[in-house]
Structure 1
Amino acid sequence: MAKVLTPRSENYAQWYNDLVIKAGLAENSVVRGCMVIKPYGYAIWEKMQRVLDDMFKETGHQNAYFPLFIPKSFFSKEADHVEGFAKECAVVTHYRLKNNPDGKGVVVDPDAKLEEEYIVRPTSETIIWNSYRDWIQSHRDLPIKINQWANVVRWEMRTRLFLRTSEFLWQEGHTAHATREEAIEEAETMLKVYAGFAEKYMAMPVLQGYKTASERFAGAEETLTIEALMQDGKALQSGTSHFLGQNFARVFDVKFQNKEGKEEFVWATSWGVSTRLMGALIMSHSDDNGLVLPPKLAPVQVVIVPIYKKEEELRQIVDQADKIALALKKQGVSVKVDDDDKHKPGWKFAQYELQGVPVRLAIGPRDMQNGTVELARRDTLTKELLPVEGIENHITELLDDIQNSIYQKALNFRKENTHTVDTYDEFKKVLNEKGGFILAHWDGTDETEEKIKQETKATIRCIPIDSNPEPGKCMVTGKPSRQRVVFAVSY
């Protein structure tokens, strides 16, 4: 069967790669480090995109689009920002090809060198803030809340489908505000939007918190993050929101006249999630049989498979399947009737299990006689025989139950794999033997953070947003610590 996957317990990384490819989500491109997102994978991304886009618009944001190419001089203006991306930038130096003089293919025309090189966008702060300079003069022009759906390029040497590729798809929000407080509130609001999406739609519990200074986005004053725990005990940063202060406004001279008539620099945020969420979705829920998709993001929520031996049985069974499908569609459920005769029912069952379709119905001649249908849940792999009458209402309720069940399973896993330690020896022991999230005290210094990273490979995933922090002593130095922070080995 095409569905055979390497077991997670044998080789988690290979299991992940097998699943992405064999479930038809994506494949490696001939372009090194890039991927081809296949229709089924893109259908899941589209559902994510649609939900997030609605959430952004509900919070007052508008979509726009800015150029893929950014003048090199723009990056030179913000030292911290360019340092953060310098090693990952793809650079355009020429604008034309010509036929090779020896008649073999084409070559870059040496006479077509650009006066100034362009950077293929790794992120868009610089090009967007150059535009904001023209858009903003008065406090009446603020706030500006723009989101962009786009692709970006960050030249990666070690890649993995969805998790880390040289080109990936994402959204990036860029907002401008009149006050520091308003910008901070925006950054916090968007983190809550991401967390809400992760938990309500992806069924993936996340921790919310601040990044340490060494882990902040290049050019940000503060970076907020949502962190999820994958089934192999590693953390995955799943979305970030940045308070940029006035850094980009100063660099690009974006000022506004306040209500008192005085000139001030604008306050900024940026925030984004990417196709990395696809990797998070896969690794949060899936098993050795294939994908396990939360119903809210499944391209097909219910598949109906007719089972028959004689051609004369097929039409009657398909008619019944079509009636069920119509009733489900009226309830807002996405459903597919698979009457394709290229494959037998057993192959189809395995394929839809591999692709994570939440509910599978099977109807055969005996079901037609008895007025029943066989229902299989993907999340629990359980089956039951149910009356066909009213099946659409049962399935609607069942999809909600599956969504909640998948979330609860992931939440229980995180609870079981979150550990509190007080000493460095205990920290290293738990990290090596159990993995997961580790809550420990840290003295707040870059030196201690780097020491832990070098000696254990674990990083501080976030400083939790905690209204009642527990003070203590750093597990390494014994110095005072305001609160416990979250450590993990990460992707």
Structure 2
Amino acid sequence: MADNPAEPSKSALKKAEKQAKQAAEKAAKAAKQAALPLVGGKKADDIIGMTVSKADNFSAWYQEVVLKAEMVEYYNEISGFFILRPASMFVWNTIRKWFQEQIETLDVEEASFPSLLSSKSLEKEKEHVEGFAPELAWVTKAGDKDLENPVALRPTSEAIMYPYYSKWIRSHRDLPLRLNQWNSVVRWESKQTTPFLRAREFLWQEGHTAHLTEELAGEEVLQILEFYAGVYEQLLAVPVVRGRKTEKEKFAGGYYTTTVEGYIPSNGRGVQGGTSHCLGQNFSKMYDVKVEDPTPKEGEKAGHIHVWQNSWGLSTRVIGVMVMIHGDDKGLVLPPRVSKLQVIMVPVGINKSTSKEDKEKHYDEMQTFKNTLKKVGVRADYDTRDGYTPAWKFNDWELKGVPLRLEYGPKDAAKSVVSFARRDTGEKGTIEIASLTTEIPALLEKIQSDMYNKAEASFRSHRINITNWDEVVPALDARNVVLIPHCLAEKCEDKIKDLTTGNQEEAAGPADAKAPSMGMKSLCIPFEQPEGIEKGTTKCLNPECGALAEKWCMFGRSY
């Protein structure tokens, strides 16, 4: 059927493939140009350190830092796909371990479902799939034979999982059913792809649960949302706003969506951090997931009720948000809790006149420091690469974002101290060798908290409450997100986006050239509501609306 997005015709597939290829080539060209500016006649890729200023060209800076800090590599075979290198996978695995521990307290179990879904399975949830249809990647061949029924790579797993929930859930005693899987999904983005933020394949976790009542489902939604906030705030030192999505922005086919929203100071954009959805009974009705009512009304025969379902997901996008917020013109700045290497020790004062015996003794002392720190849980190493000056090594480790550098030379040894330099602030000082096991862990925790406090202060200062429409666009141009009284109607949101779309020239860089003219969209209805809205009196701020305001809603230009 040609009008069914789940069963594309051959001509439609051919057209889609051609469009995707053209978009991929365009995106790859743009990304390459952004990542490789010319500096002094050389490509930036040929220069070891950073060549782009974060303030001058944010997009190019970001592309350069994730490549040169060895977070990602472009997968040249197919545009829009990226290789996650060990530094990135350490961050992701730290998040995975922490989050897994949290959800296990809710008795969530781990599962794994296939990555392919049939067109037939998609037919049941047209409203949900409609939003994903342009991004579905279809497998149409096996070897040299055309598949009679094409299959799609999962963009998410509802259609794969829920037929089996219907099979497994037979009684209210089988509830709650809580499953989570760690996997990758494919969404064939037509827009320009960006490492971590917008990729055609990304890693994530997706939890899918079933409950007897709306109240039980709602309780879990907020528990998971708080875990997501913990990932950002406790591990990545990134502040987020907790809230609920408007009806326009909620998960397609769901009942309601809660979210944690971040903020990128360099361009003033909001960024969705993670979402926890209450799906209501929509999907359980599609897939006939029901149980006998355990509490029928007195005098009535027990009937069947459809279960209440939730889904929740967090992706490797979190890594990109962390890089954008904390990085600087020297490169990456990593919070200690997610840094593969927390402390790097660099020997100084070792030169050609240093005897072999003294050099070996010096290195042995650094090995002892490493072992000592390892015993108290500090991930440390030392850099004894020959042929590189200490200054070169300092720059190299700063580029990679290691939170703390220790310098140790003969003069330090004579005083029984090590010198330190913080990556986040550049602060320097000395620590007595006898105090390493207490001072270093304490300093790492201070770095972690200071990084969060700095980012939190920035986000707070750029969340502006506005009650005068004329102040909205200037606030956006000043790189703020805004909280405005809003009626929460979908048509009003569309109008607000149109009214805030302009042609200003100010920009953060080539790839962000359209950012200042980008219309704002709703980010969330914050749980933390300012005062000032009087029910029945306060009007929606949209000058062309006229309806009464329901809530303060956070709007902004966004990713």
Bucket of the pairwise TM-score, normalised by the shorter protein: over 0.9
What SS class does the counterpart of residue 137 from structure 1 fall into? coil
**Superposed CA offset, 1:131-164 (max 9, x none):** 1111100011110111110000000122001100
Match of 2:170 among 111, 114, 137: 137
Whole-angstrom distance in 2 between the partners of 1:134 and 1:483: 41
Q: Is the 8 A contact 2:269 2:557 kept in 1?
A: yes
Residues 199, 355 of structure 1: alpha-carbon distance in 2 compared, 3 angstrom cutoff: same
Alignment of 1:359 onto 2:404 = yes
Whole-angstrom distance in 1 between the partners of 2:499 and 2:247: 20
2:554 corresponding residue in structure 1: 486
Q: Is the 8 A contact 2:87 2:339 kept in 1?
A: no
Which amino acid is the alignment partner of residue 177 of structure 2?
Answer: I
Deviation above 3 Å: which 4+ runs of structure 1? 466-470
Alignment of 1:474 onto 2:520 = no
Q: Using the TM superposition, name which of 460-469 and 234-243 deviates more.
A: 460-469
Whole-angstrom distance in 1 between the partners of 2:394 and 2:259: 39
Where structure 2 has 5 or more consecutive residues not aligned to the other structure, the ranges are 1-46, 296-301, 501-518
Which amino acid is the alignment partner of residue 22 of structure 1?
Answer: K
What SS class does the counterpart of residue 206 from structure 2 fall into? strand
Q: What is the CA distance between 1:361 and its match in structure 2?
A: 0.6
What SS class does the counterpart of residue 131 from structure 2 fall into? helix
1:376 corresponding residue in structure 2: 421
Whole-angstrom distance in 1 between the partners of 2:532 and 2:228: 26
Q: Is the 8 A contact 1:435 1:488 kept in 2?
A: no
Which amino acid is the alignment partner of residue 398 of structure 1?
Answer: L
1:324 corresponding residue in structure 2: 369
1:21 corresponding residue in structure 2: 67
Whole-angstrom distance in 1 between the partners of 2:386 and 2:86: 22
Which amino acid is the alignment partner of residue 49 of structure 1?
Answer: R
Match of 2:98 among 39, 47, 51: 51
Q: Is the 8 A contact 1:126 1:248 kept in 2?
A: no
Alignment of 1:442 onto 2:486 = yes
Residues 155, 263 of structure 1: alpha-carbon distance in 2 compared, 3 angstrom cutoff: same
2:450 corresponding residue in structure 1: 405
Match of 1:234 among 230, 245, 269: 269
2:112 corresponding residue in structure 1: 65
What SS class does the counterpart of residue 347 from structure 1 fall into? helix
2:470 corresponding residue in structure 1: 425
Q: TM-score if structure 1 supplies the norm length?
A: 0.94
Whole-angstrom distance in 2 between the partners of 1:254 and 1:55: 27
Residues 192, 397 of structure 1: alpha-carbon distance in 2 compared, 3 angstrom cutoff: same
Which amino acid is the alignment partner of residue 225 of structure 1?
Answer: T
What SS class does the counterpart of residue 480 from structure 1 fall into? coil
Q: Is the 8 A contact 2:487 2:551 kept in 1?
A: no
2:215 corresponding residue in structure 1: 181
Q: Is the 8 A contact 1:470 1:483 kept in 2?
A: no
Q: Using the TM superposition, name which of 267-276 and 196-205 deviates more.
A: 196-205
1:225 corresponding residue in structure 2: 259
1:104 corresponding residue in structure 2: none
What SS class does the counterpart of residue 183 from structure 2 fall into? strand
Q: What is the CA distance between 1:428 and its match in structure 2?
A: 1.5
- How many residue pairs get aligned? The number is 476
What SS class does the counterpart of residue 8 from structure 1 fall into? coil
Q: What is the CA distance between 1:468 and its match in structure 2?
A: 7.2
Q: Is the 8 A contact 1:47 1:299 kept in 2?
A: no
Which amino acid is the alignment partner of residue 168 of structure 2?
Answer: W
Alignment of 1:462 onto 2:524 = yes
Whole-angstrom distance in 2 between the partners of 1:403 and 1:129: 41
Whole-angstrom distance in 2 between the partners of 1:252 and 1:347: 61
Whole-angstrom distance in 2 between the partners of 1:126 and 1:394: 52
Which amino acid is the alignment partner of residue 292 of structure 2?
Answer: Q
Q: What is the CA distance between 1:169 and its match in structure 2?
A: 0.6
What SS class does the counterpart of residue 389 from structure 1 fall into? helix
**Superposed CA offset, 1:299-343 (max 9, x none):** 111111122113433211122112221221111111112223253
Match of 2:279 among 224, 229, 244: 244
Q: Is the 8 A contact 1:138 1:256 kept in 2?
A: yes
**Superposed CA offset, 1:248-289 (max 9, x none):** 111111111232453111110000010100111101211111
Q: TM-score if structure 2 supplies the norm length?
A: 0.83
Which amino acid is the alignment partner of residue 344 of structure 2?
Answer: V
CA RMSD of aligned residues (A): 1.5
Whole-angstrom distance in 2 between the partners of 1:38 and 1:252: 39
Which amino acid is the alignment partner of residue 488 of structure 2?
Answer: G
Whole-angstrom distance in 2 between the partners of 1:183 and 1:118: 32
What SS class does the counterpart of residue 218 from structure 1 fall into? coil
Q: What is the CA distance between 1:121 and its match in structure 2?
A: 0.3
What SS class does the counterpart of residue 350 from structure 1 fall into? helix
What SS class does the counterpart of residue 291 from structure 2 fall into? strand
1:7 corresponding residue in structure 2: 53
Whole-angstrom distance in 1 between the partners of 2:209 and 2:198: 26
Identity of aligned residues (%): 38
Q: What is the CA distance between 1:360 and its match in structure 2?
A: 0.7
Whole-angstrom distance in 2 between the partners of 1:291 and 1:94: 42
Residues 258, 468 of structure 1: alpha-carbon distance in 2 compared, 3 angstrom cutoff: farther
Whole-angstrom distance in 1 between the partners of 2:380 and 2:369: 9
Where structure 1 has 5 or more consecutive residues not aligned to the other structure, the ranges are 97-108
Which amino acid is the alignment partner of residue 498 of structure 2?
Answer: Q
1:25-44 equivalence runs, <5 A: 25-30=71-76, 31-44=78-91
Which amino acid is the alignment partner of residue 248 of structure 1?
Answer: F
Whole-angstrom distance in 2 between the partners of 1:375 and 1:226: 36
Alignment of 1:350 onto 2:395 = yes
Which amino acid is the alignment partner of residue 247 of structure 2?
Answer: A
Q: What is the CA distance between 1:115 and its match in structure 2?
A: 2.8
Residues 427, 265 of structure 1: alpha-carbon distance in 2 compared, 3 angstrom cutoff: same
Whole-angstrom distance in 1 between the partners of 2:341 and 2:275: 29
Which amino acid is the alignment partner of residue 473 of structure 2?
Answer: K
Whole-angstrom distance in 2 between the partners of 1:62 and 1:254: 19
Whole-angstrom distance in 2 between the partners of 1:125 and 1:67: 12
What SS class does the counterpart of residue 376 from structure 1 fall into? strand
Q: Is the 8 A contact 1:306 1:314 kept in 2?
A: no
Which amino acid is the alignment partner of residue 474 of structure 1?
Answer: C
2:183 corresponding residue in structure 1: 150
Q: Is the 8 A contact 1:149 1:171 kept in 2?
A: yes
What SS class does the counterpart of residue 52 from structure 1 fall into? helix
Which amino acid is the alignment partner of residue 53 of structure 2?
Answer: P
1:88 corresponding residue in structure 2: 135
Alignment of 1:290 onto 2:324 = no
Q: Is the 8 A contact 1:5 1:19 kept in 2?
A: no
Q: Is the 8 A contact 1:469 1:482 kept in 2?
A: no
Q: What is the CA distance between 1:290 and its match in structure 2?
A: 1.1
